[in-house]
Chain A
Amino acid sequence: MTAQALERPAVRRRGGDLADRLGPLGLAAVAVVALITLAALCAPLITSHDPAIGSVIERYQGPSAEHLLGTDQSGRDLLARLLYGARTSLLGAAVVVLLAGAGGALLALVAAWFGRTVDALVGRVLDLLFAFPNLLLAILAVAVFGTGLGQVTVALAIAYVPYTARVLRSVALRERRLGYVQAAELQGLSGLVVSVRHILPNIAPQILTGAAINFGYAMIDLAALSFLGLGVQPPTADWGLMVSQGKDSLLQGHAQQSVFAGVCIVVAVAAFSVIGERLGGRKAGGRA
């Protein structure tokens, strides 16, 4: 065994300049994501309006100094609802990718470390999960546990696990066969320690880039579930819910609510997708 073979490849992966990999478009996407996150966090500083309070007397107001983007069908300030809606939209998607990333990494490491029967078993479980469309699984969770962001978030996270686990398993398997892992084993380190301390850091870039791509998909799925009335419940502000609530307003010629919320979803999803693709593309555990 040569010294080169025993060297941990981490330095090789960290060597690339992040800014170079992202490029101008990727950096712009990062700026967009940062802006949205900042707006969500600073919502109370940007607007004094409560996103859940309004009066029907003030419904469908046009843009004014008081309401920069106008009001919705309940007379609520649209800008406030967009800003606060970013919180639920981002938070839900973040929880989905965090849980899916954690679950996927765990399954990948277990499959890679034990191999053979365990690997085959994990593979079949993932196949089973693949058989259920994401939204169907979430709707099933709603039927059993009721409507709400928490329920659909957990259900979607479970649905996203196979997408993450499938890619991470192949990366972890490759790492498992490398010399530095075998050297650590020879030193008597346990499988748990080798997996967590040595393999996990080396598959982390794939976890992160997969998460970036899945973030966009999770936003779309959560928005769809809120649109169907299964996710975030009124009067909580949420972009998907706003698209849904604005649907009936279209009949009255007031497209603002649906359009503004729709634009926010499109921009956020596109930004996360660009970041994910620049970091590693679909090879890195993104949803197919």
Chain B
Amino acid sequence: MRICAKAVLAASLSLGLAACGGGPAGQKTADRKLDDLLVTTPAAQRDLDKATWNLPFGEPASVDPIKAFNYPENTVVANLCEGLTRLDPDYSLKPNLAEKVETADQKTWVFTLRDDVRFWDGTPMTADDVLFSLRRHLDPDEGSYWASDQITGNIASIEKTGEHQVTITLKKPDATLNSYMATPIGVVVQRAQREKAGAKYGTPEGGVMCTGPYTVSSWAKGSSITMLRNDAYWDASRRAKTRQVDLRFIVDPGAIASALETNAIDGSYDVPIDAVDRLSASGSGTLYLGKSLQVVAVISTGSGPLGDPAVRRALALATDRDAIAATVFSGTAQVPRSLVPRGGWTYGDGVFGPANDALPGTAKNLDEAKKLLTGADLGNRTITIAYPSERQFYADILSEMSNAARELGLTIQPKGVPSAQYGAFFSDAKARAGYDGFMTTNYMDVPDPLAFLRTIAAKGGSQNFDGHSDPETQSLIEQAAGTLEESERAKAVAELQTKVMERMPWIPIAAPSVRLFLRKGVTGVPASFVYLYYPWAADLGAA
């Protein structure tokens, strides 16, 4: 009897809740303006003693810069350690630890270092530290996550060529190298401390020694990281405005939304998509939408019907991507014509704009999609696509794509894979076996379309998951990489983009905006997608 009474009570309560929670039929997400996305929030007016920030992707595994290759690590390391160059919120590249960069042929890059930079312990940064830091990416024993054929694999030598000068010589010209010096590839750490810390380097016990505006004060594993302002920061004009920043690792969307609404945390990037409407209406703070470098896409592994470019293009045309952007992303995403997000065109405005407009439109066009498949051999017609099972929005996207596939005579079979296993899809071909495609929220490491397209389309590219390569594409990549003059490079990259989008190795679904929430009274952090490499916390202060 006791069990039954409890069950009836629970059922009654639940039904009551359902009645209260049920939204009206056809409820629409508020229209959002995405034409002019923000790059930063209003500048801070005063210093702040303490702030609490959330890392929605969880706790970093390490703060060693060469192990920083994902959201949690990069978001923290960006405030601790600095590169030779710096990517500002408007995606412009600025000198940083190197005061000058020179190249005549895009093969030999000479970095003239500042002589006034000091590590947190007060010791000066030397050319030897820079040399050591850059060479770590070439040392297999160090295990840099940034080591790749295209960037570090293209380095012929790194030498100290003066008391305050380091020269990188490449095997082949690469105009994007300087941009990568703003990422962990160009980050400088203190050699002595690295050697002393040994295997514990980057961990709560071993730590790091860098030059950035914040130091790690404490790291309670599984709970929080406390960053303290580096009061002796070498650039007084960019000294951090908040004395202490506590970083939390709340990953549950509901908990994040509640913590933001109650001001238990002062801010967070990447707030949950499903919480966007709720946070927009919240009086406790402001939701900012920023210029992003992200793209949500379906990656083809080259197998099954999805291995056919005509099928990929037909699916793109038949899928109502506008509806996905408006509903699944709560109106915070745009539908891109290209795999390169609009925010990623930081040069060659006069070239990229028309080139993008010339790409096929994004509106649903079933007739055109069916024409593309005329005569195509579709094999078994079933397309298996993997997605991280914890991310509901991927399932929603695939549900909508399944409708399109059905209208084309195809079947999409979504298969959820736990996130813990999903990461292997990007590094291990065996993990992708049996799948025709997999979902991604990808982002550009640097705001240069060449750098991004190269990973997807170049022979041996780190994200060339279907293994396709052709001489014409390769030639365009090399031509663009060898062109330093930006408007000229833009022409080659635009041509490359057109060629890549003809094959469409990835089906672009949406270009999400940066979703940033700040509580009332705090402001200043960038709203753009620079927070992985830019010391965003240093700009945080009181409104």
Evaluate contact between B277 and A252: CB separation under 8 angstroms: yes
**Number of B residues contacting the other chain (C-beta, 8 Å)?**
48
Q: Does A63 contact B (CB under 8 A)?
A: yes
Q: Does A118 contact B (CB under 8 A)?
A: no
Q: Does B353 contact A (CB under 8 A)?
A: no
Q: Does A49 contact B (CB under 8 A)?
A: no
Evaluate contact between B21 and A259: CB separation under 8 angstroms: yes
* Chain A hits for B23, CB < 8 A: 60, 62, 252-254
Q: Does B416 contact A (CB under 8 A)?
A: yes
Q: A59-B327, A147-B389 are in contact. Are A259 and B14 (CB under 8 A)?
A: yes
* Chain A hits for B395, CB < 8 A: 74, 234-235, 245
- Residue among A55, A142, A230 with most chain B CB within 10 A: A55
Contact of B416 among A59, A234, A250 (CB under 8 A): A234
A249-275 contacts to B (CB < 8 Å): 249-256, 259-260, 262-263, 266-267, 269-270, 273-274
Residue of A nearest to B389 (CB): A229
Evaluate contact between B254 and A251: CB separation under 8 angstroms: yes
* Chain A hits for B396, CB < 8 A: 56, 59, 73-74
B184 to chain A, nearest CB (A): 31
* Chain B hits for A74, CB < 8 A: 395-396, 399-400
Residue-wise interface mask of B (68-98) relative to A, using a CB-CB cutoff of 8 A (1 in contact, 0 not) = 0000000000000000000000000000000
Q: Does A164 contact B (CB under 8 A)?
A: no
Q: A248-B392, A267-B7, A270-B4 are in contact. Are A256 and B22 (CB under 8 A)?
A: yes
A28–B25 alpha-carbon span in the complex (Å): 35
Evaluate contact between B324 and A56: CB separation under 8 angstroms: yes
A73–B26 alpha-carbon span in the complex (Å): 12
Evaluate contact between A55 and B21: CB separation under 8 angstroms: no
Q: Does A6 contact B (CB under 8 A)?
A: no
Evaluate contact between B274 and A234: CB separation under 8 angstroms: no
B1-24 contacts to A (CB < 8 Å): 1, 3-4, 6-7, 10-11, 14-15, 17-18, 20-24
Q: Does A53 contact B (CB under 8 A)?
A: yes
* Chain B hits for A76, CB < 8 A: 399
* Chain B hits for A245, CB < 8 A: 392, 395
Contact of B274 among A57, A147, A249 (CB under 8 A): A249
- Residue among B18, B25, B328 with most chain A CB within 10 A: B18
Residue of B nearest to A252 (CB): B274
Residue of B nearest to A62 (CB): B25
A133–B277 alpha-carbon span in the complex (Å): 40
* Chain A hits for B416, CB < 8 A: 147, 229, 233-234
Contact of B4 among A56, A233, A274 (CB under 8 A): A274
* Chain B hits for A55, CB < 8 A: 320, 323, 400, 403
Q: Does A179 contact B (CB under 8 A)?
A: no
A63–B24 alpha-carbon span in the complex (Å): 9
A270–B4 alpha-carbon span in the complex (Å): 6
Q: Does B197 contact A (CB under 8 A)?
A: no
* Chain B hits for A52, CB < 8 A: 399, 402
Evaluate contact between A56 and B400: CB separation under 8 angstroms: yes
* Chain A hits for B18, CB < 8 A: 255-256, 259-260, 263
Residue of A nearest to B416 (CB): A233
* Chain B hits for A150, CB < 8 A: none
A93 to chain B, nearest CB (A): 16
Evaluate contact between B414 and A270: CB separation under 8 angstroms: no
Q: Does B423 contact A (CB under 8 A)?
A: no
Evaluate contact between B22 and A73: CB separation under 8 angstroms: no
A266–B18 alpha-carbon span in the complex (Å): 15
Contact of A253 among B15, B21, B324, B402 (CB under 8 A): B21
A9 to chain B, nearest CB (A): 30
Q: A259-B17, A267-B11 are in contact. Are A56 and B22 (CB under 8 A)?
A: no
A28-42 contacts to B (CB < 8 Å): 29
A247–B327 alpha-carbon span in the complex (Å): 17
Residue-wise interface mask of B (238-257) relative to A, using a CB-CB cutoff of 8 A (1 in contact, 0 not) = 00000000000000011001
Q: Does A64 contact B (CB under 8 A)?
A: yes
Q: Does B237 contact A (CB under 8 A)?
A: no
Residue of B nearest to A63 (CB): B22
Residue of B nearest to A250 (CB): B254
A62–B3 alpha-carbon span in the complex (Å): 32
A267–B18 alpha-carbon span in the complex (Å): 16
A212-260 contacts to B (CB < 8 Å): 229-230, 233-235, 245, 247-256, 259-260
Residue of A nearest to B1 (CB): A25
Q: Does A61 contact B (CB under 8 A)?
A: yes
* Chain A hits for B15, CB < 8 A: 259, 263
Q: Does A162 contact B (CB under 8 A)?
A: no
Residue of A nearest to B278 (CB): A251
Evaluate contact between A230 and B21: CB separation under 8 angstroms: no
Q: A249-B274, A274-B3 are in contact. Are A73 and B11 (CB under 8 A)?
A: no
Q: A233-B416, A266-B7 are in contact. Are A250 and B21 (CB under 8 A)?
A: yes
Q: Does A205 contact B (CB under 8 A)?
A: no
Evaluate contact between A270 and B6: CB separation under 8 angstroms: yes
* Chain B hits for A248, CB < 8 A: 253-254, 272, 274, 392-393
B74 to chain A, nearest CB (A): 25
B126-153 contacts to A (CB < 8 Å): none
Evaluate contact between B22 and A70: CB separation under 8 angstroms: yes
A42-73 contacts to B (CB < 8 Å): 52-57, 59-64, 70, 73
B378-418 contacts to A (CB < 8 Å): 389-390, 392-393, 395-396, 399-400, 402-403, 406, 414-418
Q: Does B123 contact A (CB under 8 A)?
A: no
Residue-wise interface mask of B (251-271) relative to A, using a CB-CB cutoff of 8 A (1 in contact, 0 not) = 001100100000000000000
Which A residues contact B (CB, under 8 angstroms)?
Answer: 25, 29, 52-57, 59-64, 70, 73-76, 142, 147, 229-230, 233-235, 245, 247-256, 259-260, 262-263, 266-267, 269-270, 273-274, 277
Known: A234-B395, A255-B21. 12 other contacts (CB 8 A): A56-B320, A56-B396, A60-B23, A74-B396, A76-B399, A234-B389, A234-B414, A235-B395, A259-B14, A259-B21, A267-B7, A277-B3
Which B residues contact A (CB, under 8 angstroms)?
Answer: 1, 3-4, 6-7, 10-11, 14-15, 17-18, 20-27, 253-254, 257, 272, 274-275, 277-278, 320, 323-324, 327-328, 389-390, 392-393, 395-396, 399-400, 402-403, 406, 414-418
Instruction: Offer 5 A-B interface pairs, CB within 8 angstroms, sorted by A.
Output: A53-B402, A57-B320, A235-B402, A254-B22, A256-B21
